[in-house]
Amino acid sequence: MSRQLLCLLGGLLLAMLMPHAKADQIAVLVPTQSSLTQAFISELTRALPGQRVTSVDPDQQLPADTSLVITMGRSTLVYRQQQPATQPTLATYITLETLQADEQLGSNAHTLLANPAPTRQVALAKLLMPGASRLGVLISQQRQTQLPDWQNAATQADRTLHAVVIPTGASLTRRLGEVILDSDILLGTDDSSIYNADNLKTILLTSYSRNKVLIGPSAPFIDAGSLSTTYSSPQDMARSVAYLIEQGMPAGAASYPRYFSVLSNAQVARSLGIPLPDDATLARRLAELEQEP
């Protein structure tokens, strides 16, 4: 065999073994540059070593070879919807409440929700209080479409769900008393008309005066007095995005983050006499449960 042919064959073999020189271009639309967006993009870049990840402000042009656009938050998603959408869009940091209120997310977009998955929140409640069989949910009339997910989560965990819907203009205190009376644990929902700064003191004081705890609805409520919640850090969200990109993301659909952390309030647990494992242990146990058949 001639030296020229050997060189040609060697070159072809090397080309087959080497990764493609041109990687996919992923453009991340960020509302503002912050520690959160920087942590998200840094982890996403690490989780997708074979692809190029670029941070783009809404007033910037997308790179010409962009193959996927990731939006962070509602403002960048709204901006994206106003532009020609030739590439698929992965919308992140969108709450279920926002998703239900917005009818224009588009069939070319997949939404990665910012909310904790109901199944995960129920599993957390079951770990923390194994003997609590009655789960309470308080939700406004406008958001009661969330209830089937909570009911399914409770059924899977062999728990009873007691849901109280608050009609528009009805008394929060009265409905709160009803759900607490018939429940062992109160599960916070993605409903800003109920779980907001104005109502939080009433919800927590009413619950704890009857030795009932609040799980969720999100990490910011922990310092205020919620017992525990699952949530997704910027790193968790980035890893969840990478998983969707690698596994495929159904267009026109929504999903919860695959990766998550746990945040708890040890002081609340002590005051109510609830044994509280550390957050890392809780997160690891929940992840193991989700992998079980």
Q: Which of 289, 229, 291 is nearest to 260 (CA)?
A: 229
Beta bridge pairs of residue 69: 27, 89
Give the pLDDT score at 19. 34
Read off the pLDDT of each residue in 206-214 and give the average, rounded to a whole number: 92
Give the pLDDT score at 6. 39
pLDDT at 265 over 50: yes
CATH topology of domain 21-114+232-259: Rossmann fold (3.40.50)
Token pair listed for 160 = 């009873």
**Which range among 77-91, 173-187, 243-257, 277-291 shows the weakest confidence by mean pLDDT?**
77-91
**Which range among 12-26, 57-71, 172-186, 210-224 shows the weakest confidence by mean pLDDT?**
12-26
**Which range among 6-20, 97-111, 208-222, 242-256 shows the weakest confidence by mean pLDDT?**
6-20
Per-domain residue ranges of the chain: 21-114+232-259, 118-231+261-291
Tell me the average pLDDT of the chain: 88
Phi and psi at residue 71, to the nearest 5°: -105, 150
Token pair listed for 61 = 């042009």
Q: Which of 136, 127, 276, 121 is nearest to 206 (CA)?
A: 136
Q: Which of the pair, 216 or 2, is modelled with greater confidence?
A: 216
Q: Is residue 195 within 8 Å of residue 221, measured between CB atoms?
A: yes
pLDDT single digits (tens) 62-117: 888 899 999 999 999 888 888 877 889 999 999 988 877 665 556 678 999 999 99
Give the pLDDT score at 196. 93
pLDDT at 3 over 90: no
Q: Report how far residue 234's alpha carbon sits from residue 237's, in angstroms, rounded to the nearest whole number.
A: 5
pLDDT single digits (tens) 14-64: 333 323 333 589 999 999 889 999 999 999 999 999 899 999 998 888 888
Give the pLDDT score at 292. 80
**Which range among 56-60, 70-74, 226-230, 278-282 shows the weakest confidence by mean pLDDT?**
56-60
Give the pLDDT score at 102. 60
**Is it true that 21-114+232-259 and 118-231+261-291 share their CATH fold?**
yes
Q: Which CATH architecture describes the domain 118-231+261-291? A: 3-Layer(aba) Sandwich (3.40)
Give the pLDDT score at 106. 64
Q: Report how far residue 158's alpha carbon sits from residue 232's, in angstroms, rounded to the nearest whole number.
A: 26
